[in-house]
Chain A
Amino acid sequence: MNQAAVVTENRPTRAPNAAPAWYAGIGRSAARSRATLVAIVVFALLFLVTDWISPGPITYFDVSFLASGGTTLALAAVGQTLVILSGGFDLSAGAVISLVNAVLAANMSMTDMEASVVEWTAVGIAVGMLVGAFNGLFIAFLRLQPIVVTLSTMFIVQGGTLLVLEQPGGFVAPSLGAFYMGDAVPNLLPAPILLLGVVLLLWAWLKRTRYGLALYASGSDPASAAAIGISVPWVRFATYVIAGGLYGLAGVFISAQTGSGDPLVGNSLLLSIFAAVVIGGTRLGGGKGGPVGSVFGAFTLMIVVNILLALNVSAYFSTVAEGGVLLLAVLFASLSRDSVLAEQIREGLAALRARSAGLLVTQRPKVDHRLAFAARRGAEAGAATPVPGFLERNAETIRYAAPAYVALALVLVATQFVLGNVLTNFSYWNALFVLSTFLAILALGQGAVILTGGLDLSLPWTIALSGILLAGLVRGSDPALVYALPLVFAVAAAIGLANGIGVVMLGLSPIVVTLAMNGILQGAALLYSNGTPSGFASPALRWFMTGYLGGVTPVLVFLAAFVIGATVLLGRTSFGRRVYAIGNSLEAARLSGVRTGRVIIAVYVLSALCAALVGILLTGFSGQASLGMGDDYLLPSIAVVVVGGALITGGRGHYLGMFGGALLLTALQTLLAGTTLPYAFRAILFGCVVLAAVIALRERRTS
């Protein structure tokens, strides 16, 4: 149980002079915290590998550097872990780190070289907790979805950070650096390790309190937790506040480490934080795992930098190698007798045996074995039940999809008011729909994945790779589209298939699989294009996206067809029903005879195909493809799905709602682009409007 003890024991750099009694404790908790232990073992192995391949022995200084390098990420990952344990999700983590860094750097006095460490650390933690309280307020008490709330907070905080510190600069007193980066015990214990040790000890204490128990309980099953008298909202609120405090501490640490401020410093940490948490063995969706693993997950991610350097991995391969390490680490952690992979293999073998024995279900005669009374009752019920009216049947869908359209209407009115002459101006509508096309298409793929309870983070480089492939294949020639389009879609289908297989067959978290895939695709795009994508869209494709057909851009016709097709696909086909069934309960769907594995794989293939379509259309829109052209579509693709009324944990949402979300986001961006407001205010406004839109989506009464 004593997890802090596990930490100190497994630091290879410290003399293992601990009492043998601890080992018994480890043995007892080993079964329960297996994932955490594996994370520690993975890190230890990588550490030994680094030691092997790097020239010269690893000294105290090396360890000290490694410790200070990974601490910011580790602290933030601990905060994120708590949020995830509570069943939540926090996208504002990176932004809070930037904010605290900016607040410290902008407010510390240049003349005060000996600024109080305690005081400024408290300021940093307090700023983080304040943001956490803001998140917690909306998530715990207004019951809004964590992903949208924290996404809005992320934009608001990023804007606020730029108001505090416009550009890199400022001053952080050296006393902070000396304290956090120095030695707690010279030549034995670097201060960052002590700091992490203290944080984990606090966690070990917290875990034993009533709060700790309530945290795991409300993450595992909020309804049961509430039933035994736990105040789930307060537990959630406290979790976001504590997590905010930890991001704040990470911000203080990075300030001490860098000695100055940069308003963008933490933003790019976001995906690494999630990767660290998942490598650390914490399961998304709550209830399982713990911060100790996340700390080692963070250090695993950082030590990969040293390994890539020592092996001299070519620059183009570095994201591929990283993706590989991420996958292997998690795969290694999941290997056991009852892992999904083992189960798949057992089931596959059993199916083979059954086939040779002729016992497989599909080999049996296809005769209707329906029981006589079941058919009779069905007939009676069908005749007796009156069909409810349209509004009544779709009441729930409308309630969740409507806010996006109401907010859209408000934004349109605001646009008319601020910029004038837009609502009657056809070119405005044309531009709005053309620009919405990309998000509307992504919403189908990402939406279907989210409906099954997954998430596709490989969109950015699926988009870019598809665009680059297409441009390179067609090279401005229309006839080439005939073979280029199928080829690009085939590649995308293979990407989706790989994602789906990773999720279903290997049983890995969708976040890990698709994040690793994103890195691998980035490497593939760089290798294919050799760093400079060549070729350009063909005239027909350019005309499709930017030309006019009787005053209308041709893609609008396609968009209309796509929206109808997507609505039918998710709402009226058996595939769509299976997607919803899986999202509501994977187990229930499986027991009702849904081939869940196939459907989930199909959903990832659909998502990759949609991303490829966006890549192709973007190439037509811009005239050529570029590296990084998909970077700006990941978070919006998730945002439109959720703003459109879908539940991030799956099972609820309608495509028309998501389409409304796409229109809303685009209209809002168009409005903000039309003003001359500074970027900081635009970001804050954007976050506020998205937040306001989802307040209307509030669950009335649950749990």
Chain B
Amino acid sequence: MTTIVKSLALAAGLTCAFAASGEAVEKHKVFLSMSYIGNDWQAEAANMVKALAASKDYADKVDLQVQVAGPNAQRQIQQINAMVQAGAEAIVVYPISPTALNQVVKNACSKGVKVVAYDAEITEPCAYNVTIDQEEAGRKTAEWLADKLGGKGDVVLVTGVPGTSVDIARTKAAKEVFAKHPDIKIVGEAVGMWSQAVARTELSKLLATRKWDDIDGLWMQVGCYTANAMQLEAGKTDDELLPCAGEGSNGGRIQALAKGTEVEGASSPYAPLGAPRISYASPPYSGALALKLAVDMIEGKDVPHHTTLPLPLVTNETIQLCETGSWEEMKSGCNTFKPSIVANPGWFGSIFSDQLPQLGLNAALVGQPET
């Protein structure tokens, strides 16, 4: 039995060796281990990673294989092990858990595999992380809201997925800011699970026992677009919309454009309303940047263990509509896309990175690089 297994394996190994030698250029074998792909953010991030791997600069260098682990950390552990065994030079990973992967990542590191995590963190010291400062995100947005309210009023919080480090870092930081203003009261707290659809049902439950008039401001991790739409449905006018500190969905940003702005494809509530907003995001390009860093490392460059991305903040003052969404155009400061191009208002708008000239709007939408 054992000998049969071994000879079969050997045969398999040989065929693979022949297949590999047939290729002209030696490409770096890089794997992407994604988490659950059933949401907008993950799909967008995956598109951008694929676009970077397909771009002129990387197409000859990288052989990227994308795998999905689902929501189950056990499977991601298994998957990363399998990737190491399959001869990965680097593994780009969206970690399902910041801690559960530590042992397997340590093992990968010990075999010389570079592991780069994006968006969420891996706490194992040998891993490389590409994230925003979640605490800063919570603090800055809460400060903006407190400022807008003049330090006084009743606010509602819509948080993320309970039990995750990201949710706790953001929510804690925001609550600390509100605690400094004795006249700001948190009158409701809903669990939004980082989903526009959940934000809608949770806010509806909250408003079953309350009126919009009882609320002065909203601090949400995801859901400002939905909250504005709900206020319009409840009979509020555009001028009465509450200030909302929240995520970087394109729909929410279009709403923040000054009322009367001409925008192709706009229809209420996905239309300019002049809604008072601050929009922050965990940018979906972080996966692509993680790939870039992984390739840099394979090529011998030095990369810090923690890359903190600049926090993309957009307010009514800095909002600017893009014409085409090319990288060049975004470099000059535009940050919002026409509904005629981006049909999904829940789509995340923070896709610009000055380090990734290969990626424009098409990369995020359909996985097509600029060059």
Contacts and interface: CB of A to CB of B under 8 A. Distances in A.
Contact of A12 (B1, B71, B86): B1
Contact of B86 (A15, A51, A309, A432): A309
A318 B75 CA distance: 13
Interface string A564-599: 000000000000000000000000000000000000
A72 interface: yes
A627 B81 contact: no
B297 interface: no
Contacts of B164: 167-168, 264
A54 B85 contact: yes
Interface string A35-62: 0000000000000100111111110001
B205 A168 contact: no
Interface string A506-538: 000000000000000010011000111111100
Interface string B34-61: 1011111011101100000000000000
Interface string B263-301: 000010110000000000000000000000000000000
Given A51-B9, A58-B9, A315-B37, A676 B195 contact: no
Given A262-B98, A623-B229, A679-B162, A52 B206 contact: no
Interface stretch (B207-215, B237-245, B252-260, B329-337): B207-215
Contacts of B230: 546
Contact of B38 (A260, A422, A621, A627): A627
Interface stretch (A300-308, A327-335, A652-660): A300-308
A629 B39 CA distance: 9
B344 A624 contact: yes
B2 interface: yes
A112 interface: no
Most buried by B among A260, A305, A308: A305
Interface string A319-359: 10000000000000000000000000000000000000000
A56 B85 CA distance: 9
A57 B36 CA distance: 31
B246 interface: no
B97 A626 contact: no
Given A264-B163, A623-B229, A626-B195, A309 B82 contact: yes
Most buried by A among B74, B83, B168, B209: B74
Given A262-B97, A263-B163, A526 B195 contact: no
A486 interface: no
A15 B39 CA distance: 46
Most buried by A among B75, B85, B159, B209: B209
Interface residues of A, number: 102
B9 A56 contact: yes
Given A51-B12, A622-B226, A181 B208 contact: no
A682 B205 CA distance: 14
Contacts of A58: 5, 9
Interface of A: 12-13, 15-16, 48, 51-58, 62, 65-66, 69-70, 72-73, 105, 161-162, 166-170, 177, 181, 254, 257-265, 268-269, 272, 302, 305-306, 308-310, 312-316, 318-319, 415, 419, 421-422, 425, 427-428, 431-432, 434-435, 464, 475-476, 522, 525-526, 530-536, 546-547, 618, 621-624, 626-629, 631-632, 666, 669-670, 673-674, 676, 679-680, 682
Given A265-B100, A432-B208, 6 more contacts: A262-B97, A309-B86, A464-B38, A530-B366, A623-B270, A673-B188
8 contacts: A181-B103, A268-B73, A269-B74, A308-B67, A530-B366, A531-B37, A532-B365, A632-B193
